[in-house]
Structure 1
């Protein structure tokens, strides 16, 4: 759609095509328009003049004219000396749209933007992230779920991380324990030095990025091609609290994982045992711990062998008898004996 829109509508937000002008004007007057109305004018979505309504994805809501003006002027700042007439045209056009918007309701202040904004497409997500990075002055908090992070993923955000480090911004990153085994992450952290502090947990929440405790980004669909940009103070404060509580429970990346206190059972197998005790299937356990289903099943097989369980039902009983049906603690458990295993005792 992006390529098609560029060919059919070769213009910017300062000079809309006739069809785009009609649809955007209608959206500003009414507050929103059905998504189908924008099908003939993909330029409105590509230019971020319309975006999905968080309450109903079948509708599109207009970006406030003031916000459009702010974005236009920011992009023209470096070329203003050679583009005076273009700047004047953009301001005049936006002021006209703003007059339409005032007939319905006051627009939100341009500096703050909407409290919740849907970012549809990777290009818009990256642009919003770059803008938040540029404005950040003190702190970035991130939660990165999944297992070992691919080097391509780490490289994708490296330019933002280096820009933040250059301005003295502090970063705190939360990963799953599995991420400890990725060489790409270790190289990234070595490159960033003391600008980044990393900790790990058995499992974390879905991806979360917080800038200066004022703006947050979270996924809006399962394949992460849509995201929500959150600026509502109450929502952002809630997410900061969630992060801080997870951070206190997490283990510094450079510190070893705690011993389970039971010979032959690793920290990861203890985590799997606790999730098995809750009744989760192999695929769910694998996703929550950031490992493959195949790896998860291999751990379950070793766990069954260590505990002397001949079936899944018996494994559940053995897990409870060994005290593995709770979350792994940060310290070694008291001395325990593996049921019916004779010589296998706690270290």
Structure 2
């Protein structure tokens, strides 16, 4: 358990100094603060100079951050690969497939340094799953077409809305500020002709933008006898 930024940064600096082959990182959120980018550059440059490969995952919103793009350009001289996804898990850093760092608190003032081979291997598999789905930074992000001119971002927001997430949580998951998130929700409501949040959820479900339109006639599809089945019980 690492408590406080000083202790966390000291552990990261030590792991960086001992790293010789590979770094895997997940950096959720949109634009990163300039101080964080400066610290990241200071930590990454020695790795690049030693020929260490670095693979980093950002969210799509980072593509519009000039600071982040400038940082990426600075480190692109080495064996560095950058990809982006719409949604990411929390921050993750793995050095040489032997030690991983994850945050414990929302403010990231408490972190865990993990060295158990089983845990580290599990986190590597999570990273590889995300990496396989991500889009290289130099390629354009394409979204599945949706009816009525609804953008891919708005489609994702629609999915999160009907799952019950509040604006702040949606914005955090997509790496954007709440104001931008609410602007997307307003455009979504206008496109679907919604006058309230309750109606918006109903119209999203009926519109088909998330898949097949839902309706009373489809509620029981696949369950003609309406039996209640107890879910299978199994361990992890």
Aligned: 1:155 with 2:12: no
1:252–1:323 distance in 2 versus 1, CA, 3 Å: farther
Aligned: 1:266 with 2:112: no
1:75-128 residue CA offsets vs partner (Å, 9 max, x unmatched): xxxxxxxxxxxxxxxxxxxxxxxxxxxxxxxxxxxxxxxxxxx11222211111
Q: Determine the structure 2 residue equivalent to 1:129.
A: 12
Shift of 1:318: 2.5
Structure scoring higher RCO (CA < 8 A, sep ≥ 6) equals 2
1:118-146 residue CA offsets vs partner (Å, 9 max, x unmatched): 11222211111111111111110011112
Match of 1:241 among 125, 132, 137: 125
Match of 1:175 among 55, 58, 63: 58
Q: Distance in 1 between matches of 2:143 and 2:2?
A: 43
Q: Determine the structure 1 residue equivalent to 2:162.
A: 277
Aligned: 1:291 with 2:154: no
Superposition RMSD on alpha carbons, in Å?
1.8
1:293-339 residue CA offsets vs partner (Å, 9 max, x unmatched): 2211111000111122222233223322333336xxxxxxxxx9xxx
Q: Determine the structure 2 residue equivalent to 1:188.
A: 71
Shift of 1:218: 0.8
Contact in 1 for aligned 2:41/2:75 (Cα 8 Å): no
Q: Determine the structure 2 residue equivalent to 1:251.
A: 135
Q: Determine the structure 1 residue equivalent to 2:230.
A: none
Q: Determine the structure 1 residue equivalent to 2:23.
A: 140
Aligned: 1:227 with 2:108: no
Q: TM-score, normalised by structure 1?
A: 0.58
Where does the alignment leave 5 or more consecutive residues of structure 2 unmatched?
Answer: 213-236
Q: Determine the structure 1 residue equivalent to 2:201.
A: 316
Q: Determine the structure 1 residue equivalent to 2:83.
A: 199
Q: Distance in 1 between matches of 2:74 and 2:179?
A: 33
Q: Determine the structure 2 residue equivalent to 1:216.
A: 100
Shift of 1:289: 0.9
- 1:284 aligned counterpart, secondary structure: helix
Q: Distance in 2 between matches of 1:288 and 1:136?
A: 30
> What is the number of equivalent residue pairs in this alignment?
211
Q: Distance in 2 between matches of 1:244 and 1:281?
A: 29
- 2:182 aligned counterpart, secondary structure: helix
Max radius of gyration: which structure? 1
Q: Distance in 1 between matches of 2:172 and 2:185?
A: 15
Contact in 2 for aligned 1:143/1:207 (Cα 8 Å): yes
Q: Distance in 2 between matches of 1:259 and 1:125?
A: 37
Contact in 1 for aligned 2:21/2:51 (Cα 8 Å): yes
Contact in 1 for aligned 2:171/2:177 (Cα 8 Å): yes
- 1:157 aligned counterpart, secondary structure: helix
1:173-216 residue CA offsets vs partner (Å, 9 max, x unmatched): 11111111101111111111152211111111111000011000
1:20-74 residue CA offsets vs partner (Å, 9 max, x unmatched): xxxxxxxxxxxxxxxxxxxxxxxxxxxxxxxxxxxxxxxxxxxxxxxxxxxxxxx
Q: Distance in 1 between matches of 2:102 and 2:202?
A: 39
- 2:82 aligned counterpart, secondary structure: strand
